[in-house]
Amino acid sequence: MTDLELGNFGRDFFWGTATASYQIEGAVSEGGRGTSIWDTFSHSDGKVTNGDTGDIACDHYHRLEEDLDLLGQLGVSTYRFSLAWPRIQPDGSGKPNQGGIDFYARLIDGLLERNIEPVPTIYHWDLPQSLQDKGGWKMRETSYRFADYAGVVTDAFKDRVKHWITLNEPWCSAWLGYAVGVHAPGETNIDSAVAATHHLLLGHGLALQQMRSMTEAKIGITLNLSVVRPASQDRADIEVARLVDGNLNRIFLDPIFKKQYPGDLVSHYGGAIADATTEDLETIGQGIDFLGVNFYFPSIVIARQNIDKARSQGLYVDTSREPNLIDADFGSAGVHRMGVKRTAMDWEIEAGALTELLVRVHDEYSTLPIMITENGCATHDYVNPSGKVIDDDRIEYIESHIAALASAIEKGVDVAGYFVWSLLDNFEWAYGYSRRFGIVWVDYETQRRIPKKSFYRYKEIIKAARDA
Ligand code: FCB
């Protein structure tokens, strides 16, 4: 694909890459850092592939300068990273730990020296364990602690940060963490996930309030959204797809943009979202400056009673595993279309779904600027005998999704930025180091970094767009 075919983006467009603290930093007991729920979870038997942990990860904590230089070499205009709450407040409350503040000050200063705009995410899943010991996101108290923490980091960095993201993917924190159980803290209870959903959103709202009183910076939240399609026009498929869409998309978008939880979900779940007060909903929906969207794959959903029929419809359903709690509760199952390419995560690739999603958000919810705060893929990378990583599949994925953004822009969506997930291969949560998302290869034995072919291609794309 030529650069022109990728689309026209304004000069101010944010071109970046993204990472998250626990996935790259390592140094888990240094600089006064406390324990997070991901330390506990990854050290529990059988939770993470190969028993991997984030203890060392990419050793980014000690290799900050080298990684900053990689960003400089790449030519990004921005970099999204996350602040580890237990580095800033080891026990989740109280006065800040200087070691943590100093580390992120070095990172932010290093970015600014290279003309790269820092976009910190305040929370990317590493909750201080002491807060989990008191119930974590199931408890309303955690929302207040989060707002205090957001105030602490705003105070420390408000002279240098112009764009903040409060939460990363609250759906994953609440539903993978408290219902499906494959993420920390590993609970499996729907009511807990519903409570966590509300408390994460409330924490976001309270943090916004706190931060607004301290800074003029732009503040957003990052959601993992997708298009959710029924596998067929069968009524049962349509009904479950609507519920899955509610659980993934509407349960966050409705309160943020319409100050209410979706009626069908309120009736289905009850609990914390049914009991939410008008005051809480006002706090949650008070208004953001931009929406962060992480997009990876479209979801195709079938009613469980239709699974036997699925194969004849050219669909593939993995019935080898027990349905997760969300699916068991809805009577739904995720399916794959045969013939649609999938990534090393087994996620379907369909760039057009990103355009469709953005147009929907624009039409149904908001005309605010949208930043694609994560997009990318895991591929089966290897270092070839000449020492290179030729990841053509990743290049194709990135190019097609950038082109999908261009068509969303043509359709009237205000897309303000794109961040490739990820700068580095890293700790992919429950998959440990077995999945590689980086545009830079990391040799975990030596911590050597090797920019992959996609790194050089992304560099060209950014340069062409910035010179245009
Ligand atoms: C997202 C997470 C990110 C990374 C990618 C692959 O859900 O925000 O940390 O793991 O998926």
Residue 429 Cβ contacting ligand 1 at under 6 Å: yes
DSSP code string of 178-210: III-SSTT----HHHHHHHHHHHHHHHHHHHHH
Over residues 92-119, the pLDDT tens digits come to 999 999 999 999 999 999 999 999 999 9
Q: Which domains does the chain have, with CATH numbers?
A: 3-227+247-294+355-467 (3.20.20.80)
Q: Write out the two tokens for 355.
A: 């355009």
Q: Which of 117, 169, 187, 396 is catalytic?
A: 169
Mean pLDDT on 360-374: 98
Q: Could you tell me how many residues make up the chain?
A: 468
Pairing relationship of beta strands 290-294 and 315-316 according to DSSP bridges: unpaired
Pick the range with the lowest mean pLDDT from 20-24, 309-313, 373-377. Answer: 309-313
CA of 16 to the centre of ligand 1 (A): 15
Q: How confident is the model at residue 249 (pLDDT cuts 50, 70, 90)?
A: very high
The angle formed by the CA atoms of residues 233, 239 and 245, to the nearest 5 degrees, is: 105
Residue 427 Cβ contacting ligand 1 at under 6 Å: no
pLDDT averaged over the chain? 97
Residue 374: active-site member: yes
Mean pLDDT on 296-323: 89
Q: How confident is the model at residue 129 (pLDDT cuts 50, 70, 90)?
A: very high
Per-residue pLDDT at 4 exceeds 60: no
Residue 137 Cβ contacting ligand 1 at under 6 Å: no
Residue 141: active-site member: no
Residue nearest to atom 4 of ligand 1 (CA): 428
Residue 196 Cβ contacting ligand 1 at under 6 Å: no
| pLDDT value of position 112 | 98
Residue nearest to atom 2 of ligand 1 (CA): 169
Q: How confident is the model at residue 1 (pLDDT cuts 50, 70, 90)?
A: low
pTM of the model: 0.98
Q: How is residue 308 annotated by DSSP? A: H
| pLDDT value of position 319 | 79
Specify whether the backbone of 267 is left (phi greater than 0), alpha (psi in -120 to 50) or beta.
alpha
Atom of ligand 1 nearest to the CA of 345: 6
DSSP code string of 101-127: HHHHHHHHHHHHHTT-EEEEEEESS--
CA of 278 to the centre of ligand 1 (A): 32
Positive or negative torsion for Cα 408, 410, 414, 420: positive
Per-residue pLDDT at 368 exceeds 90: yes
Q: How confident is the model at residue 5 (pLDDT cuts 50, 70, 90)?
A: low
Over residues 413-463, the pLDDT tens digits come to 999 999 999 999 999 999 999 999 999 999 999 999 999 999 999 999 999
Residue 14 Cβ contacting ligand 1 at under 6 Å: no
CA distance 68 to 412: 35
Strands across the sheet containing 228-230: 228-230, 299-303, 332-337, 315-316
